[in-house]
Structure 1
Amino acid sequence: MKNERIAIMDIPFINLTRKEFLENHLYPRLMDNEKTFVVTANPEIVMRTREDEEYKKIVQSADFVVPDGAGIVLASKYIKQPIKERVAGFDIMLDLLEFAEKKGLSCYFLGAKEEVNKKAVEEAVKKFPNVKIAGRHHGYFDAGDTRIAEQVAKTNPDLVFVALGFPRQEKWIKENMHRFEKGLFMGVGGSFDVLSGVVKRAPEFWIRLNLEWFYRLLKQPFRWKRILKAFEFIIRIVLKK
């Protein structure tokens, strides 16, 4: 992927449009049964990699790190290496579900609360009636419990959506990918909450203006500490330059 990656705070982000990323990389790898680890990273995740060396190595080891955050795109412009566009993890998940339905691929949903997980799967089936659901499991289990990973692996899924929140979801993927014969593994954060309808996504107008973060803050004021991390990220980019 020469010239298709931009390093921001030592994290190699893809520099591709969503369409390019899917059609040139994810879809072909899925059809070739090639194991794939995708990290959808926002400024908070990048800041976490500064504090957690183990986590940093895990993120750097991913096959693809996606710029899922307006702050990442803004930072790339500031350092004069502009990333083509923000690639939202939620959108990628929907694209992959649609592709899975068309190609007869199976999906596993791991994470979130039991009721949210169940509802997310129900909504996925409503949107994509013919998609194959390999299985599902809530996210309330001990990180070191290998039985869950073994259960998931037994279903032989083509795609595994992991909604355990960072850094836990990426660590779980890294520690357990070896148990699978194939599969695309992607940490999806709070995407099950949005898919299930528990959390409403920002209107398209806000998304186009790269203000989805502000909309979420208005709807979920308790997220203010996370927003501060995003501002710290931008400040560090400016100071470093």
Structure 2
Amino acid sequence: MEYIENDFEPRLVSGIPVHSYPKEVFLSYLRDSIGSDRKKRHICITNTESMYYAKRLPDFKNYIKTSTFSLCDGIGSVIAGKFQGQKIERFNGPDFMLACCDYGQEYGWRHFFYGGREGVAEQLVDNLMQKYPKMQVAGTFCPPFRRMSNEEKSNMLTEVKNSNADIIWVGLGLLKQENWIAENKELLNIPWSVGVGAAFDFYAGTAKRAPLPFRKLGFEWLYRLILEPRMFKRNVNSYQFMFSAIGDGIKNLGK
């Protein structure tokens, strides 16, 4: 089935768009665009922490609004949407990446993996290839933990552009990965850019992902908090947005 971008109306949570469709809709749209116009697009993986920053950083809010798809990542967004009369389905970043790696085998999609600590992207690719043996890998790049020189950045962009990738997965963490995509998307010869954060570490085996029961119940955040106490501040930001959005929904119900 062919789609045009205007076919996809987002649900709004405190003014922030989130798209909620069956995963087959997203995947078939990627398939059609990769096989035809190859216009440069990006997908935002949107959770309550993303929404917290979107309310405070205009450029980041614009990044979400200009994404072809804003996918719901996390139970907090579902709860916030429910109080505002919006039914939203979750399709988080790690699951979306696996779905694309699997689905794209049939269509020869080429994947580029940008990010992670040294060796993480390569281990990620090895693990994914065991799971999806027909997956095509266009390349990997691990950026240094410092500002790249102009020459280094030029060489990196050349490497990525020459990879003939269809999707670039960027694992630099929230805000940094979205800023990287916003800055470089138009310079790359790649139809789709997606920031997926911790997915690199999950599938490389350098960080533990929550067991399936936690994920189904929406408690993946709790599992990560137990293993990584540094996540506490991020969860505070997420809850601040969620409770604010719930309050907005309750107020609107009374009008």
2:252 counterpart residue number: none
SS of structure 1 residue aligned to 2:104:
helix
Equivalent residue letter for 2:22: T
Q: Deviation at 1:68?
A: 0.7
1:21 counterpart residue number: 26
Normalising by the residue count of structure 2, what TM-score does the alignment of the two structures yield? Answer: 0.87
1:168 counterpart residue number: 176
Matched, 1:136 2:123: no
Q: Deviations over 1:22-76 (max 9, x none)?
A: 23x2232233234321010111111111221122212211111111111111111
Q: Deviation at 1:111?
A: 0.4
Contact 1:50–1:56, Cα closer than 8 Å, also in 2? yes
Q: 2:207 aligns with which of 199, 202, 208?
A: 199
- Give the superposed CA RMSD: 1.8
Matched, 1:189 2:197: yes
Distance in 1 separating the partners of 2:220 and 2:67: 26
Normalising by the residue count of structure 1, what TM-score does the alignment of the two structures yield? Answer: 0.92
Pairing of 1:33-52 with structure 2 (within 5 A): 33-52=38-57
Matched, 1:106 2:114: no
Equivalent residue letter for 1:227: N
| Structure 1 residue ranges without an equivalent (≥5) | none
Q: Deviations over 1:142-194 (max 9, x none)?
A: 37854223321121211100111121211211221222334211001110000
Pairing of 1:221-236 with structure 2 (within 5 A): 221-236=229-244
SS of structure 1 residue aligned to 2:119:
helix
Matched positions, count: 239
Distance in 1 separating the partners of 2:34 and 2:8: 23
1:65 counterpart residue number: 70
Distance in 2 separating the partners of 1:3 and 1:28: 15
Contact 2:8–2:19, Cα closer than 8 Å, also in 1? no
Greater RCO, 1 or 2 (C-alpha within 8 Å, sep 6+):
2
SS of structure 2 residue aligned to 1:66:
strand
Contact 2:18–2:70, Cα closer than 8 Å, also in 1? yes
| Structure 2 residue ranges without an equivalent (≥5) | 1-5, 250-255
Highest CA radius of gyration, 1 or 2? 2
